A and B are shown apart, each in its own frame.
Chain A
Amino acid sequence: MAKVLEVKNITKTYPGVVALDDVSFDVEKGEILALIGENGAGKSTVIKSIAGAITPDRGTIVIDGKAYEKLTPAMAKEAGIGVVYQELNLVPSLSIMENIFLGDKVGGKLMPDFRQMRRRSEEIMADLGVKIDVSTQVQMLSTAQMQIVEIAKAVVKNCKVLIMDEPSASIPMAEVENMFRIVRRLKEKGVSIIYISHRLEELFELCDRVTVFRDGKYVITKKVSEITKKDLIRYMIGRELTEKFPERSVKPGEPVLEVRDLTGNGDFHINLELHKGEILGLAGLVGAGRTELAKMLCGDVKPESGQIIVKGRPMKAVSAADGVAAGIGLVPEDRKLEGVFLEYTIEWNIPIMSMKRISHMGIVNFKEADRLTDYYVDTLGIKTPSVKQEVRNLSGGNQQKVVVAKVLAADNDILIFDEPTRGIDVGAKQEIYKLMNNLVESGKSILMISSEMEELLGMSDRIVVLYEGKVSGSLAKEEFSQDRVLELASGM
């Protein structure tokens, strides 16, 4: 097969570090190539080089036989490179078709030709096999639909190579299959795809070949049919991961959190129990009500009716302050938006939830605050040169640990982890899992909301599955299977 993209000996250095070290690989016409590696392996640097967002120090990029030393974003687009970034870049108030042609002139010099725009948009959507009214405003769409618009936007101009950065991370589990279908359709039309993902299972389902990066270096390219997941992980981290989900010895005890007939927001109606020393997995599709439940449990959202009983005492919550007072701490889904104070230091972040407790007459005991910080930086193994480091300078895994430290420092016994390992690389995931184990072993209880099947099956003592705001099933450890969870999650 013909090579549509060749990356030849690319090196990119930043002051003090080599982000890409003499990297070469190629993409064949009409194939789906997976690009994997831990955070910091150089995936995003290489993508940015191909898309023209950065200029490498050395090396050549050959697109469809034409060699480029220096690419600009406009040149890359012209040459047939399309990129769907992890975060969506659409204008919510404009229609689908206007978004697809954003930045391109359709029709006359002054007035856009909307009829032509509509026709061409409809053609693209038909090509992708999607039925949708292209004059719908983007803000009315679901995340998955927005992603489809992003794909349409990327392929509108004679796209030869489509780069997709973690496309499955931002959409619901149920929609992933549909996205795959679109990707396969593009492949049939001769478009090559570079597919980046942290979810290894997906690669085996979707991709033809896989290229592994580690520490800024190219490691290997293999046919997906000729490699196992275990090998992939070994290539990615450069060592064998002995046990993915560490064992723990603690057995769940008496109930610490009981949810009785909790209702709110339409169809929502939940009953469940969390025991001491237990990790209870909470599964379900996006929109099944998991995050709403989490927010109600921590007091942030007020339920319409029903009871939340914490250690035998009914909790009356009007704000998250009451949840914290009752001993329930939330590690939110969106770390940056809801979890940490990015611009402040580690020593500022960790004691913030404990401020009132360590204050006397409103005056903070800063010695105690420093002690808390040191203790948790140490216990959780937060890697940083100094506690005076701003949190935004930390890696995703370490930021997550800061959130956990903040919640733990407030003496919460019941912890709600909403997607605890989202956007964290394999090594850091391991550490978060170990940390969760240590927590339940020390007598805490954890409610873990997760969309990652392996994590749910590997970490939970019990799994409760939600479907459209109601508990559709509860699985004990011996009943765990991926199929069962998926069935319950889709209401079967």
Chain B
Amino acid sequence: MSKVIDFCRRNLAWVLLFVICVVFTFTSNNFLTLSNLLNILNQNAYIIICTYGIALIMMSGGLDMAVGYQMSICGVLCAMMLTGTGIPMPLVVIITIVVSVGFGALGTLLEQLLQLPRIFVSIGLSTVYQGVAYVITNSKTISGLPDSFKVIGQGTVLHPSLTYATILMVIGGIVMSFVMDRTYFGRYVFALGGNEAAARLAGINVKRMKYAIGCVAGFFCGIGAVILTSRVGAAAAGTAAGTEITVLTGVLVGGVSVRGGDGKIANCIAGVLIMGLLANGMQLAGLNTYYQYVAKGAIMLLVMWFDAFQIKRRAIAANKRKEERAA
């Protein structure tokens, strides 16, 4: 029995996801069909891909609130290059991703230069991205993207609902899980999140690691932007606004602590899917986006409280064990 409880605690996000799926299965006839499940994955693919990077930042003890508008500005740039210039499509995709990597590195650069926590830097940058995106688009939606580009987000294989985006998401998840569990890079990320001073003195090049983490986060954000733009078939300055809250909450639901140093990529996927399913369920129940904001915010507060509660509980438990041993 205690093994079952332990399993549930360690994989809380997956257990919750399962429960929600069971509920939806009974309340909706169309829920448990292959195409619906694949659709859900497809809808959330770009968010989950983005999550890989943000999870990395959070595991290393940082917090990034810029993903939403970073994705927006990248999407806008991508669409403008596709419609306004003669740059070939594959090159546009690469440039978009490279720019996003640059944004990620810029975050780290400012963090180092201004000696500020990433959360403050990212909030500032987010606002700058937002402004720039509106300025360069003149607040207009850029549409009329070539079909060859739309294939990335809309094209399917094997099954009419299995998109390339979904496949990319799965591959990304496997790679990132491997990186976090099996490579020294993954260990170093956790080392940073666990105790930055100790990591530095242990000979880990903290600065370089932070740039690497920023770049990886930018990379995934760039891919997310390309997929989103391609799936929607258009881009506007506000397209991805608010994604940062979904991602952040998803990562927290997935068991990553706001203090860093803990968590699993797979659980973060489950966390974001939970957020996606809840939004989907509310939509079906006729509750519009504004209600969803209320729900998302409430869930975010709930998981943050739970996280803080867990930290406290663990600290108390450790103290108690120590006192017992000492006594």
Instruction: Using CB atoms and an 8 Å cutoff, list the residues of chain A in contact with chain B.
Output: 14-20, 39-40, 42, 45, 216, 298, 300, 319-321, 323-325, 330, 332, 337-344, 348, 352-353, 355-356, 359, 362-364, 366, 390, 392-393, 395, 406, 410
Nearest B residue to A42 via CB reads B327
Q: Which residue of B lies closest to A215 (CB)?
A: B327
CB B60 to nearest CB in A, in angstroms, measures: 13
Q: CA separation between A368 and B182, bound complex, in Å?
A: 13
A242 to B327, CA, bound (A): 26
C-alpha gap A340/B197 in the complex (Å): 9
A355 pairs with B205, CB closer than 8 A:
no
What are 18 A-B interface contacts by the 8 Å CB criterion? A40-B325, A42-B327, A45-B323, A319-B205, A320-B200, A320-B201, A321-B205, A341-B194, A341-B195, A341-B261, A343-B194, A343-B261, A352-B187, A355-B187, A355-B188, A359-B183, A392-B322, A406-B202
A366 proximity list for chain B (CB < 8 A): 182
Say whether B303 faces chain A, with CB atoms less than 8 Å apart.
no
Contacts A338-B197, A341-B195, A356-B184 known; list 11 others, CB within 8 Å. A14-B324, A15-B324, A17-B325, A20-B327, A298-B201, A323-B203, A324-B202, A332-B201, A363-B183, A364-B184, A395-B325
Q: Give B292-327 as 1s and 0s: 1 = Cβ < 8 Å from A's Cβ atoms.
A: 000000000000000000000010001011111111
Question: B207 near A: Cβ within 8 Å?
Answer: yes
Q: In the bound complex, do residue A300 and residue B200 qualify as a contact, i.e. CB atoms below 8 Å apart?
A: yes
Contacts of A362 in B (CB 8 A): 183-185
Cα-based distance from A340 to B204 in the complex (angstroms): 13
A residues in contact with B188, CB < 8 Å: 355
CA distance A359 to B195 in the complex (A): 22
> Is B203's CB under 8 angstroms from A320's CB?
yes
Residues of B within 8 A of A321 (CB): 203-205
Given contacts A359-B184, A364-B182, A364-B183, contact A341 B203 (CB under 8 A): no
In the complex the two chains form, is A363's CB within 8 Å of B182's CB?
A: yes
Given A319-B207, A343-B261, A364-B187: A393 and B200 interface contact (C-beta under 8 Å): no
Q: Which of B184, B203, B320, B325 has the most CB of A within 10 A?
A: B203
The reply to whether B201 and A344 contact each other, CB–CB distance below 8 Å, is no
Which chain B residue has the least Cβ–Cβ distance from A323? B203
Q: Which residues on the A side are within 8 Å of B206 (C-beta)?
A: 319
Contact check, B318 vs A330: say whether CB atoms are below 8 A apart. no
> A402 to chain B: closest CB distance in Å?
11
Q: Does B198 contact A (CB under 8 A)?
A: yes
Return chain A residues, CB-CB under 8 Å to B183: 359, 362-364
Known contacts A17-B324, A39-B326; is-contact A324 B191 (Cβ 8 Å): no
Q: Complex: how many Å from CA A406 to CA B188?
A: 14
Inter-subunit contact A353/B202 (CB<8 Å): yes
Q: Is the CB of B197 within 8 A of A337?
A: yes
Closest A-B pairs by Cβ, 5 of them: A324-B203, A40-B326, A19-B327, A355-B184, A341-B194
Nearest CB in chain A: distance from B170 CB, A: 21
Question: Looking at A40, A352, A364, A366, which has the most chain B CB atoms within 10 Å of its CB?
Answer: A352
Minimum C-beta distance from B143 to chain A (A): 42
Q: A14 — nearest CB in chain B belongs to which residue?
A: B324
Known: A344-B190, A344-B194, A364-B183. A352 touches B202 (CB 8 A): yes
Residues of A within 8 A of B184 (CB): 355-356, 359, 362, 364
Contact B327 A300 (CB under 8 A): no
CB neighbours (8 Å) of B200 from chain A are 300, 319-320
